[in-house]
Amino acid sequence: MQIKFQGQYDKKLFFKAVALANRPAKNRQRLLSILLVIAIGAIGVIAYRMITTGDFGGNLVYLAAALFMGGYVAFIFIRPYSAASKLWSNPGVRRPLKGVIDNTGIHYDFGDQSNDIAWKDLNRRQITDDLVTIIRKKDGLLLIFPQHFIKGKNSWQKFCQLVESNVTSIGENGFQRPARSK
């Protein structure tokens, strides 16, 4: 079975894919969201205490700790957008792509050169209804496949099944789940 793909990324799609590929596991995402709310609440309470009591020195350590915690959590949420911006500045990311996906892997054709990536070299996947992201083990290369790169709903479903059966995913608990057995 061979599935052909062809297309070109736009900025919105690319940023969405980078965010998807770097999305924390659901349990971790919930924890980080709760920590961010707690940090923002703590900053508010500490700032209120500082203003009402006038004790800036006594509350400064607490404020610094709350700001550090909130900043760290915010950084985790913002980092994918920063990475996407840096990656998007590379003109190679914006070039048209085409190739073939089969049981051995993903084969890119760049006209004057080609690149073959075996399934065994890929290790993290995220799949949504209209987007698949995959990370290559050795160098963290991000492979992005929006649904419109693959013609036909049937071909898209076959592609998603190939990815699910050949590439591990990040589970609910944040640990890698192996690819489904064939």
pLDDT of res. 105: 94
Percent of the chain, pLDDT > 70? 90
Give the three-state DSSP class for 117. Answer: strand
Residues in the chain: 182
d(CA 129, CA 157): 10
Say what the pTM is: 0.72
Return all residues near 84 (Cβ < 8 A) that are at least 6 apart: 14, 15, 18, 19
Give the three-state DSSP class for 98. Answer: strand
| 28 touches 174 (CB < 8 A) | yes
pLDDT at 174 over 60: no
Are 124 and 173 contained in the same domain? yes
Are 54 and 124 contained in the same domain? no
Are 84 and 99 contained in the same domain? no
Are 101 and 81 contained in the same domain? no
Are 82 and 99 contained in the same domain? no
Give the three-state DSSP class for 85. Answer: helix
Strand order in the sheet with 142-146: 142-146, 131-136, 122-127, 169-170, 176-177
What CATH number did the domain enclosing 120 receive? 2.30.29.30
Are 115 and 163 contained in the same domain? yes
Are 105 and 82 contained in the same domain? no
The mean pLDDT of 130-136, rounded to a whole number, is 94
d(CA 71, CA 1): 48
Percent of the chain, pLDDT > 90? 42
Q: Which two tokens stand for residue 159?
A: 């592609």
Q: State the Cα torsion 75-135-15-31 to the nearest 10°.
A: -40
Nearest residue to 124 via CA among 106, 101, 142, 145: 142
Are 109 and 75 contained in the same domain? no
Structural domain span for residue 54: 19-88
Are 131 and 172 contained in the same domain? yes
Long-range contacts of 102-106 (CB under 8 A, 24+ apart): 102/1, 102/2, 102/3, 103/1, 103/162, 106/143
pLDDT of res. 173: 42
pLDDT of res. 152: 93
pLDDT in tens, 18-73: 988 887 666 777 887 888 888 889 889 998 888 888 888 888 888 888 888 888 88
Number of domains comprising the chain: 2
Q: Which two tokens stand for residue 38?
A: 């707690």
The mean pLDDT of 2-19, rounded to a whole number, is 93
Q: Pick the last residue of a domain from 43, 73, 88.
A: 88
Are 80 and 117 contained in the same domain? no
The Cβ of residue 122 has, within 10 Å, a number of other Cβ atoms equal to 21
